[in-house]
Chain A
Amino acid sequence: MENNNQEIKEKVATFRSHYGAMMFRRRFGEGCTLRPVPRSLSSSCGTAAYFYRDDWEDHLDENVEGVWERNGEEWRKLYGEE
């Protein structure tokens, strides 16, 4: 929801497997696309889920490795172990 000039930032979730990404998208529903993990986040070439909504925490499971938020060219970690 856009209000008070607050920009809605893109988020990306990374997974332990492509299947984990598919399941996340299924749970998440509308507004989630699967694309390769951004190079700036990882040197591996797995599948990531890109979305804008803020209710991502409701859809986490053990397959989700991390969730990040775009901050210009950078990504800021929102969730996940070191």
Chain B
Amino acid sequence: MKVSKEKIGLMVAGGVVGLSAIILTVFGNPKNMGFCIACFIRDMAGSVKMHSAGVVQYMRPEIIGIVLGSFLISLCKGEFKPRGGSSPFIRFILGFFVMIGALTFLGCPLRMVLRLAGGDLNALVGLFGFIAGIAVGCFFISRGFSLGRAYKENKIEGVALPVVNVVFLVALIAFPSLLAFSETGPGSMHAPLLLSLLIGVIVGALAQRTRICMAGGIRDIILLNDWTLVLGSVMIFVVALVGNLVTGSFKLGFTGQPVAQTNHVWNFLGMLLVGLASVLLGGCPLRQLIMAGEGNTDSAITVLGLFVGAAFAHNFKLVGNATENGPNVWGKSAVIIGIVIALLIAFFNSKIKEEK
């Protein structure tokens, strides 16, 4: 059987992401958190003092690298195409709630795969929720859900988010006193700056070339019975699993897992919210960073939604808490409100009508 170039590319990219995650963990990132787009954006929001949770503040070079990697490779390949205008504020709100769901579970879909590869069975519960959320989203997509078409925009608009990331990088290197940095907790644990940045750029470029996406892979299976895109996620899992076994970091079970909580209901519902909102947005948080790098300003707005969601999650203490076994009543309310709002957005943007 001939394996297509696309599938090979996805498997290579997945393998590199999995290996990179292990390397970053070995060099200092928190366990099972070589990458976590949600956690890292949360740390960055803390670093620019949008929230003051002292244990999760760091300007993560991986995120900066991913955006710039996607930006540079899309420029080189003629795929940098500034466009936007597809319901930007609705996307901001969905991005906000993706972050609420992810911080309830304590990880974005990418970290969910990495947690699974570390033996964290809470991530399996999260995966079931994620698939359920994507299935609900697919129900609306197959009934005409769309946030409307995007239009061509000028170059300055498309370049803005990559430039903001350059500013973040300059601040991190040259003016660190402007930023807040955790002294304890996950925010204080990080690989060396240049290594994180370099790996971010490589992963950003590979993800742009291959369209790797955790939500998209499952969506394609449900909507089109196409198993191509999911290969990337499968390879991330396989390589990270082997890496964890080799480095002795694999630990199977529900309890005592790094940066995790064991409340099944809220792990499930948190990731259900992430899956639903991601599929409505057309991609998981990693994919939003990549599309933003390609000049998609709707994705840039979504990334802003993730930032603000993270700030709210910590300022109002809505996050899943390892010591309290899940979110408090306000956190639970935020997840339920998020699911309801995502469903309303899905319903009112669908054409539930028959066409000949």
A interface residues with partner B (beta carbon < 8 Å): 16-19, 22-23, 26, 34-36, 38-39, 43-45, 47
- Chain A residues, CB < 8 A from B249: none
What are 17 contact pairs spanning A and B, CB under 8 A?
A: A16-B146, A16-B149, A17-B149, A18-B142, A18-B223, A19-B143, A19-B351, A34-B224, A35-B224, A36-B220, A36-B228, A39-B6, A39-B9, A39-B211, A45-B213, A45-B229, A47-B223
Interface of A is mostly: mixed
Starting from the known contacts A35-B226, A47-B224, 4 additional A-B residue pairs (CB-CB under 8 Å) come to: A36-B220, A36-B229, A45-B282, A45-B283
Q: Are B79 and A17 in contact (CB under 8 A)?
A: no
Q: Which B residues are in CB contact (< 8 Å) with A43?
A: 74, 79, 208, 211, 294
Which of under 10, 10 to 19, 20 to 34, or 35 or more describes the interface residues of B? 20 to 34
| Cβ-based interface call for B85 (8 A) | no
A22 to chain B, nearest CB (A): 7
B interface, by DSSP: helix, strand, loop or mixed?
loop
Q: B290: nearest residue on chain A (CB-CB)? A: A43
B250 within 8 A of A: no
Q: What B residues does A35 contact at CB under 8 A?
A: 224, 226
0 or 1 for each of B325-356: is its CB under 8 Å from A? (1 = yes): 00000000000000000000000000100010
Instruction: Write the residues of chain B forming the contact surface with A, with a CB cutoff of 8 angstroms.
Output: 6, 9, 74, 79, 141-146, 149, 208-211, 213, 216, 220, 223-224, 226, 228-229, 282-283, 287, 291, 294, 351, 355
Give the distance to chain A from B355, nearest Cβ to Cβ, in Å: 6
Task: Report yes or no: A39 in contact with B210, Cβ–Cβ below 8 A.
Answer: yes
Are the C-beta atoms of B294 and A19 separated by less than 8 Å? no
Name, among A16, A35, A45, the residue most crowded by chain B CB atoms within 10 Å (CB to CB).
A45
| CB-CB nearest in chain A for B146 | A17
- Is A19 a contact partner of B282 (Cβ separation < 8 A)? no
Nearest chain A CB to B229's CB is how many angstroms away?
7
Known contacts being A36-B228, A45-B216, A45-B229, is A19 close to B145, with CB within 8 Å?
yes
Most buried by B among A23, A26, A43, A47: A43
CA distance A81 to B119 in the complex (A): 49
Contact A19 B141 (CB under 8 A): yes
A63 → chain B, closest Cβ, in Å? Answer: 9
